[in-house]
Amino acid sequence: MRLSAVPAILILGMMLAGCAGRSGTEESQAKRPSKETTNSIARMTAPMPSAEVAGVAAEESGHQTELAWAGQVPNQQAFEAVTRDAGMAIPSQRPMEMLAPSAPAIGSTPRGRSKVYSQRFRDAKPINFGKVSPRHHAVHGVDVSRWQGEIDWQTLRTQGANFAFIKATDGGDHLDPMFRKNWQRAKDAGIKRGAYHFFYWCRTAGEQADWFIRNVPKEAGALPPVIDVEYNAESSCKKRLSRAKVLEKMQVFMDKLERHYGQRPIIYTAPDFYADNLEGEFLDYPFWLRSVAAHPSKRYPGRKWVFWQYSGSGLSHGVSEKIDLNVFRGSVNDWHKWIAGQSS
| Predicted pLDDT of residue 79 | 34
What average pLDDT is seen over the chain? 78
- Sequence-distant (6+) residues with CB within 8 A of 37 are 81, 83, 204, 206
pLDDT at position 280 is 98
- State percent of the chain over pLDDT 90: 63
Say what the pLDDT of residue 80 is. Answer: 37
Burial tier of 93 (Cβ tally within 10 Å: 0-12, 13-18, 19+): exposed
- What CATH code is assigned to 120-341? 3.20.20.80
Contact residues for 325 (Cβ-Cβ < 8 A; gap 6+): 119, 121, 123, 134, 140, 141, 142, 309, 310, 311, 314
Q: For residue 183, count CB atoms less than 10 angstroms from its CB and return exposed for 0-12, middle for 13-18, buried for 19 or more.
A: buried
- Contacts of 315 by beta carbon, 8 Å cutoff, 6+ apart: 121, 122, 123, 124, 322, 323
With 90 as the cut, is the pLDDT of residue 290 above it?
yes
pLDDT band for position 88 (cuts 50, 70, 90): very low
Instruction: Specify the pairing of strand 287-290 against strand 226-229.
Output: unpaired
Quick check: 162 pLDDT over 50?
A: yes
Percent of all residues in the chain with a pLDDT value above 70, rounded to a whole number: 67
CB 228 within 8 A of CB 197: yes
Close Cβ partners of 238 (under 8 Å, ≥ 6 residues apart) = none
As a whole number, mean pLDDT of residues 225-229 equals: 98
SS3 306: coil
Q: Residue 31, exposed/middle/buried by CB under 10 A (0-12, 13-18, 19+)? A: exposed
Q: 143, 170, 207, 334: which is the annotated catalytic residue?
A: 143
Active site residue 143: yes
Q: How confident is the model at residue 50 (pLDDT cuts 50, 70, 90)?
A: very low
Question: Which of 263, 257, 136 has the alpha carbon at shortest distance from 206?
Answer: 257
Catalytic residue among 97, 230, 248, 281: 230
Tell me the mean pLDDT in the region 94-117. 58
pLDDT band for position 101 (50/70/90)? low
Active site residue 188: no
**pLDDT attached to residue 73:** 36
Q: Count of CB atoms within 10 A of residue 268's CB? A: 24
Mean pLDDT, rounded, for 147-153: 97
Position 128 pLDDT exceeds 80: yes
Residue 116 has pLDDT above 50, yes or no: yes
63 near 51, Cβ under 8 Å? no
pLDDT confidence of 233, banded at 50, 70, 90? Answer: confident
Residue 307 has pLDDT above 50, yes or no: yes
For residue 326, the cross-strand partners are 141, 309
Q: Which residue has the higher pLDDT, 18 or 297?
A: 297
Question: Would you give the DSSP letter of residue 301?
Answer: T
pLDDT exceeds 60 at position 136: yes
Q: How would residue 212 be classed by pLDDT, with cut points 50, 70 and 90?
A: very high
